[in-house]
Amino acid sequence: MSNSNEDYILKINNIEVKYHEVILVLKGVSIKVPKGGIVALLGANGAGKSTTLKAISGLLNHENGEVTDGSIEFMGERIDKMRAEKITKMGIVQVIEGRRVFEHLTVEENLKVAAHLKRKGKKVKEGLDMVYHYFPRLKEKRNILAGFISGGEQQMTVVGRAMMTDPKLILLDEPSMGLAPMLIHEIFNIITKLNKEEKISMLLVEQNAKLALNVAPYAYVMENGRIVMDDTSEKLQDNEDIKDFYLGFSEHGERKNFRNVKHYKRKKRWLT
Ligand SMILES: Nc1ncnc2c1ncn2[C@@H]1O[C@H](COP(=O)(O)OP(=O)(O)O)[C@@H](O)[C@H]1O
Ligand SMILES: [Mg+2]
């Protein structure tokens, strides 16, 4: 792929983000997502991954956060001062972490509510058909209250809700968190399919680096509000530091224990 600007659906140019006007969390972050591509954003807890996604989707405003420097371009247009609703209409949707569904609504009602910004009448039906095509489990459960389905099915529901907004770019915040390995596998297969077949670009935030590097061909590593490394996933997988500090997952996807994390913090000097 050439490197001309038109090849990127999203360009984050050296942004700085502050909460409450004083808490500086992102200290110059640049990330590019190719059109139709999947890019992973890795990093430990508290690095600033969710903040990055909220800066893109406009959800920062709800938390008294602001992009105070740099710019974000979506399909060539500046979006860093836009309201979240407008950004969704342009085709960006964020799947926030923690798979928050409306528990008192059925699965199908959850999907329909998400459609209101982008789809009316017949288009809602088309959206539902598409979601049920990719998530047959949701079709089976469509009349069940979302509070009563499994964690995996709730994660599918929030991804389905994102699809109802007819997105060009989905921002996924830790979709694997707390799910059983088999379900993680199922969800990531569907995410890959959506990318290939519906041509939806993805920016994927994950703490499970092994998983993310398998799904995304390119990844960025974030530490303490800065990008400290970016490369093809192939190269990152072979990088000793990445192996040590980010691929320290057991077969079951559990994180390294606290002692190892502390060890990692001490050894972090390699990054500076
Ligand atoms: N609404 C907020 N107000 C103030 N500080 C926040 C807020 N949200 C996140 N932070 C801080 O910003 C830093 C990055 O958080 P976050 O983006 O959630 O990291 P990650 O998603 O990588 O775990 C953390 O130190 C966190 O405490
Ligand atoms: Mg987060």
Rounded to the nearest angstrom, the distance between the alpha carbon of 266 and the centre of ligand 1 is 22
Q: Could you identify the atom of ligand 1 that is nearest to the CA of residue 222?
A: 22
pLDDT tens-digit series, residues 3-20: 555 699 999 999 999 999
Q: DSSP 3-state assignment of 175?
A: coil
pLDDT at 246 > cutoff 80: no
User: In the 3-class helix/strand/coil scheme, how is 86-128 assigned residue by residue?
Assistant: HHHHHCEEEECCCCCCCCCCEHHHHHHHHHCCCCCCHHHHHHH
The ligand minimizing its distance to the Cα of 49 is: 1
Give, as one character, the DSSP assignment of residue 173: E
User: 145 C-alpha vs ligand 1 centroid, how far in Å?
Assistant: 31
**Reported pTM:** 0.89
CB 32 within 8 A of CB 71: no
DSSP count for the chain of H helices, then E strands: 11, 10
What is the dihedral sign for C-alpha 6, 8, 13, 17? positive
Residue 252: per-residue pLDDT: 44
Assign 3-state DSSP to the chain and report helix, strand, coil percentages, each to 5. 45, 25, 30
Split at pLDDT 50, 70, 90, the class of 99 is confident
**CA–CA dist 194, 192 (Å, integer):** 5
Question: Looking at per-residue confidence, does 119 or 206 come out higher?
Answer: 206
If one residue of 15, 18, 25 were mutated to test the ligand 1 pocket, choosing by the most ligand atoms within 8 A of its CB, it would be 25
- Report residue 151's pLDDT band, with 50, 70 and 90 as the boundaries: very high
Say how many C-beta atoms besides its own lie within 10 A of residue 65's C-beta. 20
Per-residue confidence (pLDDT) for residue 172, from 0 to 100: 97
For ligand 1, pick from 15, 51, 177 the residue to mutate: most ligand atoms within 8 Å of CB.
Answer: 51
CA dist 115 and 162 (Å) reads 9
User: Is the model's pLDDT at 27 over the cut of 90?
Assistant: yes
The pLDDT value given to residue 6? 64
Confidence (pLDDT) at 247:
66
pLDDT at 5: 57
Per-residue model confidence (pLDDT) at position 262: 44
From residue 179, how far is each of 113, 153, 188, 201, 208 by CA, in Å?
A: 25, 10, 12, 23, 12
Assess contact for 72 and 15: CB atoms under 8 A: yes
- Ligand at shortest distance from the CA of 43: 1
Confidence grade of residue 142 (pLDDT, cut at 50, 70, 90) = very high
Task: Give, as residue ranges, everything with CB less than 5 Å from ion ligand 2.
Answer: 50
Query: How many angstroms does the Cα of residue 53 sit away from the middle of ligand 2?
Result: 9
3-class state of residue 200 by DSSP: coil
Q: What angle do CA 82, 45, 162 make, to 5 degrees?
A: 45
pLDDT at 253 over 90: no
Q: Please state the rounded mean pLDDT for residues 109-126.
A: 88
Residue 251, pLDDT above cutoff 60: no
Give yes or no for a contact between 55 and 14, defined as CB atoms under 8 angstroms apart. Answer: no
Q: Are strands 38-42 and 92-95 parallel, antiparallel or unpaired?
A: unpaired
The tens digit of pLDDT for each residue in 158-197 reads 999 999 999 999 999 999 988 888 899 999 999 999 999 9
- List, chain by chain if needed, residues with CB within 6 Å of any ligand 1 atom: 19, 23, 25, 43, 45-51, 63, 65
Q: Work out the percent of the chain whose per-residue pLDDT is above 70.
A: 88
Q: Which ligand is nearest to the CA of 222?
A: 1
Q: Whose CA is nearest to atom 25 of ligand 1?
A: 46
Residue nearest to atom 6 of ligand 1 (CA): 19
Structural domains of the chain, with CATH:
5-91+167-271 (3.40.50.300), 100-166 (no CATH)
Percent of the chain at pLDDT above 90?
A: 74
Please report the pLDDT score of residue 121 as a whole number: 82
Separation of alpha carbons 151 and 178, rounded Å: 8
- Give 135 Cα–ligand 1 centroid separation in angstroms: 32
